[in-house]
């Protein structure tokens, strides 16, 4: 029997969440963001569920190539643009849209000769200070791009640093409006957080939305109640089983480093999941986990392949809590649900990181 861990990717949830994004976008076009192998879900796995998007946004030429191989003929956007002059020939061959955020990328485009072969978004830095032209350089960069023979339409893009906080992107929005004022070209501003926060008003915020995390049912704020409140469904579940049980007296320790000591006699199960599967090593004792449909907690330090779980609540609920009992680390399974954001919060990170960290050794089933 193979090790009993597996992940499920729920296509119905992806389809539901994309519809949710569409509703929020109220008529604007939607780039389904599928970078990082579709946030750990697998690009080829999510493709069929997300193919009603208007386009796909990602980072790697190899991932763009995969989408073309899967039969996607529509728009694909490279969110970080090209990494070298050589990439441009491949962009032409694969007919990719790309972001231009630096003068070096304009110089590479200036050396291309195929007329109007490149559709691009110029990127404005509205204060995040990651990628993008400074506001005082933006219009000159945009004009230079628009005049290049190899460049077709030139849109406008920015990325918010504070979209997950109410009103946090107001200054960035104003700066964007003021900087691109009067220039033609499509606009793209909103990630999941901005799209969900602005709701019906989002169309005022551009022609193309860029939802990522919401498609996978994660919360862009990192706050556990938000994903549910926004009507999102988890697209990934990580499931395993109990492979060992220890009946311990009071004062016993569990796991490496003696970080957990039993206060009374208790029954501890060992679940076959560890940090080599993508379960966060920093999850402390008390992090929620579901055994036999009953919510309980992990105990002791997460090791590479295993973690301890408190079986007393499981027994108290009249369930077996024995070797072979099913364990839900996050997601949904058999009527139980545990939001990935809740586990992430306990471990001091975000659902984004847990999903992206799902390890290659975990077998994945599409459900």
Ligand X SMILES: *Cc1c(COP(=O)(O)O)cnc(C)c1O
CB of 78 to ligand X, least distance (A): 10
114 among known catalytic residues = no
Cβ-proximal residues to 318 (8 Å cutoff; 6+ apart), any chain: none
CB 82 within 8 A of CB 151: no
| Bridge partners (DSSP) listed for residue 309 | 269, 298
Torsional sign, CA 158, 160, 166, 168: negative
**Contact status: 125 vs ligand X (CB under 6 A):** no
CA-wise closest residue to 280 among 304, 297, 256: 304
Structure tokens that stand for 11 in this block:
């296509």
Please identify, among the stretches 205-213, 228-236, 238-246, 287-295, the one whose residues bind ligand X according to the rule CB under 6 A: 205-213
CB of 341 to ligand X, least distance (A): 13
x/- site string to ligand X, residues 11 to 50, per CB under 6 A? Answer: ----------------------x-x---------------
Q: Which is nearer to ligand X, 38 or 88 (CB)?
A: 38
**Contact status: 248 vs ligand X (CB under 6 A):** no
Q: Which is nearer to ligand X, 16 or 210 (CB)?
A: 210
CB of 113 to ligand X, least distance (A): 29
Distance separating alpha carbons of residues 308 and 178, to the nearest angstrom: 55
Q: Which is nearer to ligand X, 33 or 346 (CB)?
A: 33
Distance separating alpha carbons of residues 190 and 210, to the nearest angstrom: 6
Q: Cα-flanking dihedrals φ and ψ of residue 270, to 5°?
A: -115, 115
**Contact status: 212 vs ligand X (CB under 6 A):** yes
x/- site string to ligand X, residues 144 to 163, per CB under 6 A? Answer: ---------------x----
From the candidates 39, 114, 216, 256, which is the catalytic residue? 256
**Contact status: 222 vs ligand X (CB under 6 A):** no
From the candidates 29, 35, 114, 216, which is the catalytic residue? 35
Q: Which of 37, 105, 191, 240 binds ligand X (CB under 6 A)?
A: 191
Q: Cα-flanking dihedrals φ and ψ of residue 294, to 5°?
A: -110, 130
Q: Which is nearer to ligand X, 212 or 308 (CB)?
A: 212
- What's the distance, CA 342 to chain centroid? 15
Q: Which is nearer to ligand X, 15 or 192 (CB)?
A: 192
- Length of the chain equals 367
Residue the block writes with tokens 């946090």: 168
123 among known catalytic residues = no
| Coil, helix or strand at residue 157 | strand
Residue the block writes with tokens 């402390």: 284
Residues of this chain that bind ligand X (CB under 6 A):
33, 35, 79, 159, 191-193, 210-213, 220
């Amino acid at each position: 029997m193979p090790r009993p861990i597996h992940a499920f990717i729920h296509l119905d949830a992806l389809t539901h969440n994309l519809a949710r994004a569409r509703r929020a976008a109220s008529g604007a076009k939607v780039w389904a963001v599928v970078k990082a192998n579709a946030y750990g879900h697998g690009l080829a796995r999510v493709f069929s569920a997300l193919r009603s998007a208007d386009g796909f946004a990602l980072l790697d030429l190899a991932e763009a190539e995969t989408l073309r191989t899967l039969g996607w003929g529509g728009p694909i956007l490279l969110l970080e643009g090209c990494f070298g002059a050589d990439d441009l020939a491949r962009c032409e061959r694969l007919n990719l849209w790309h972001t231009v955020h630096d003068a070096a990328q304009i110089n590479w485009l200036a050396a291309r000769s195929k007329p109007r072969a490149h559709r691009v978004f110029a990127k404005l830095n509205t204060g995040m200070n990651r990628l993008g032209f400074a506001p005082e350089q933006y219009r000159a960069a945009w004009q230079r791009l628009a005049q290049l023979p190899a460049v077709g339409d030139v849109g406008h893009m920015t990325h918010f640093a504070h979209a997950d906080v109410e009103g946090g992107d107001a200054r960035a929005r104003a700066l964007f409006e003021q900087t691109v004022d009067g220039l033609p070209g499509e606009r793209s501003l909103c990630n999941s957080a901005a799209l969900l926060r602005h709701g019906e008003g989002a169309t005022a915020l551009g022609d193309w939305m860029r939802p990522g995390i919401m498609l996978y049912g994660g919360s862009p704020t990192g706050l556990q109640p938000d994903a549910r409140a926004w009507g999102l469904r988890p697209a990934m579940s990580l499931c395993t089983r109990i492979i060992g049980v220890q009946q311990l007296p009071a004062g016993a320790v569990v796991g490496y480093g003696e970080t957990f000591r039993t206060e009374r006699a208790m029954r501890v199960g060992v679940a076959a999941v560890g940090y080599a599967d993508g379960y966060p090593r920093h999850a402390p004792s008390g992090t929620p986990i579901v055994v036999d449909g009953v919510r309980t907690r992990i105990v002791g330090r997460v090791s590479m392949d295993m973690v301890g779980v408190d079986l007393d609540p499981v027994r108290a609920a009249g369930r077996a809590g024995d070797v072979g009992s099913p364990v839900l680390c996050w997601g949904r399974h058999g009527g139980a649900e545990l939001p990935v954001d809740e586990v992430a919060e306990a471990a001091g990170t975000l659902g984004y990181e847990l999903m992206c960290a799902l390890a290659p050794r975990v077998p994945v089933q599409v459900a």
